[in-house]
Amino acid sequence: MNIHQLNVFVSVYRHRSFTKASEDLGLSQPTVSEQIKNLEDQLNCKLFDRLGRTIQPTPEAEILYPKALQIIEELSELKSFISESRNMVSGTIHIGAS
């Protein structure tokens, strides 16, 4: 499981559509489907019931969704924190006076 798969999952969950998620993410629809399939294989569960052109999240997807949001948010915060810490000036300043 990786952050890219979680982002794809969240978009599919929100849009309830592989096509709309692919447009939102700037990915091809087959790529979105493949990412969801890989995630399902890794979790050993089905995340969406495909009903023709519509999809419905499974109970497992309902459990995963808030956790995926949390992971995505925490990773974003971590990246921001690391970026900010790199830009901080640190060190020792010696001041002399006479």
pLDDT in tens, 41-67: 999 999 999 987 789 999 999 999 999
Strand 54-57 to 48-51 pairing? antiparallel
Does residue 83 have a pLDDT over 90? Answer: no
Residue 88 located in a structural domain: no
Residue 65 located in a structural domain: yes
For residue 58, the enclosing domain spans 3-76
Residue 91 located in a structural domain: no
Read off the pLDDT of each residue in 8-30 and give the average, rounded to a whole number: 97
Q: How many domains does the chain have?
A: 1
Residue 7 located in a structural domain: yes
Q: What is the pLDDT of residue 85?
A: 74
pTM, two decimal places: 0.81
Instruction: State CA 16 to chain mean position distance.
Output: 16
CATH code of the domain in which 28 resides: 1.10.10.10
Q: What is the pLDDT of residue 53?
A: 77
